[in-house]
Amino acid sequence: MSREQISILNLINKFMKSGLVLLLIVFMAILTSVSCGNDNPAVTNLENSEIPPTTFNYKKGDSYSLDITVYPSNNISTNSPAIIFFFGGGWVSGSINQFLQHARYFAQRGMTSVLVDYRVTQRHNSTPFDSVDDAVDALNFVFKNSDQLKIDKNKVVVSGGSAGGHLALMSSFRVMKENNFNPAALIVFNSVIDTGPGGYGYDIIGANYKDISPIDNVPINPPPVINFQGTADNIISVDDAEKFCQEVNLKNSICELKLYQGLGHGFWNYNRNIEYFKQTILEADLFLIQNNIIDGNPNIEEWIEDNQ
């Protein structure tokens, strides 16, 4: 027992004899503080806890306002890698919550995770071209405000599923061409690859489809890509996914196509099948390690156990 604790106990004995109960309570509170072994009990170990998200407005129009929701990295001591998620929904509907669990997982793996809201037809009477413009503006916002967001702009990963994968690809290719910002990697899930007559979305995009068709806009030296695709997907074909990887390889980069036999569109979603969610997260984590974006070891099994 420390000298401070002995002194306090002596005072308590005096108070008990004198009947000063209120002061006794005060000193008991002090004793608890001293004996807890924490030099500064007001300080929380943020390295081991989930930091609450913050919302930033990145774009406003006459009839809309668009935000990003940022889940900070658990490593708060330095600018961290980042991963930006675009939800799917055919540019018609959808919610940032689709990638909420992905964001939470990668935040505790040391990445600042960003969920992007963008215009969709049901809420904004918008077109796929508007959605692409929003995705580009969101990506530019993250790059331009990387210091404020505590992000290493040399390690920004862009991700999304289905139409959100399309936005991840197109926004990355656009910012590379227009602003000299270079995403470090792309992680997409059954992404829309081709918006032409033989692909997906031509009926609503029309003759100018090449302006926002990823396979027609792959730049020289694109970021490395990993794409998760079900072989039974009746919306996005394996053939399109394979052709896109070939195009990325021709433009001097790496494209990994992860085929899941017999599975359909959206099999990787957290609320669809937890096992496929875990498998695709593990593959994505290893991909980021291989490309020197994050380090350490994947911990998806432990994370799932702690969060169910």
CA distance 170 to 164: 10
Exposure string of 155-180, with b = 16+ CB inside 10 Å and e = fewer, is bbbbbbbbbbbbbbbbbbbbbbeeee
CA distance 224 to 291: 8
* Structure-block tokens of residue 59: 């774009």
CA distance 247 to 87: 24
At 85-121, the pLDDT tens digits run 999 999 999 999 999 999 999 999 999 999 999 999 9
At a CB cut-off of 8 Å and minimum separation 6, what does 242 contact?
257
pLDDT tens across the length of the chain (308 residues)? 444 443 444 444 443 444 444 333 333 333 333 333 333 322 233 344 688 999 999 999 999 999 999 999 998 778 999 999 999 999 999 999 999 999 999 999 999 999 999 999 999 999 999 999 999 999 999 999 999 999 999 999 999 999 999 999 999 999 999 988 999 999 999 999 999 999 999 999 999 999 999 999 999 999 999 999 999 999 999 999 999 999 999 999 999 999 999 999 999 999 999 999 999 999 999 999 999 999 999 999 999 999 97
Closest of 57, 65, 51 to residue 104, by C-alpha: 51
Q: State the maximum Cα–Cα separation within the chain, in Å, rounded to a whole number.
A: 92
Q: What is the pTM of this model?
A: 0.84
pLDDT of residue 30: 33
Angle between helices 128-144 and 163-179 (to 10 degrees): 60
The residues with which 230 forms a beta bridge, in sequence order, are 260
pLDDT of residue 41: 28
Closest of 293, 272, 291, 269 to residue 281, by C-alpha: 269
CA quadruple 166, 295, 175, 97: dihedral positive or negative? positive
Closest of 143, 149, 214, 147 to residue 181, by C-alpha: 143
At 275-289, the pLDDT tens digits run 999 999 999 999 999
Report how far Cα 130 is from the mean position of its chain's Cα atoms: 22
CA distances from 99 to 83, 149, 192 (A): 11, 19, 17
Closest of 121, 113, 72, 108 to residue 96, by C-alpha: 113
The residues with which 228 forms a beta bridge, in sequence order, are 189, 258
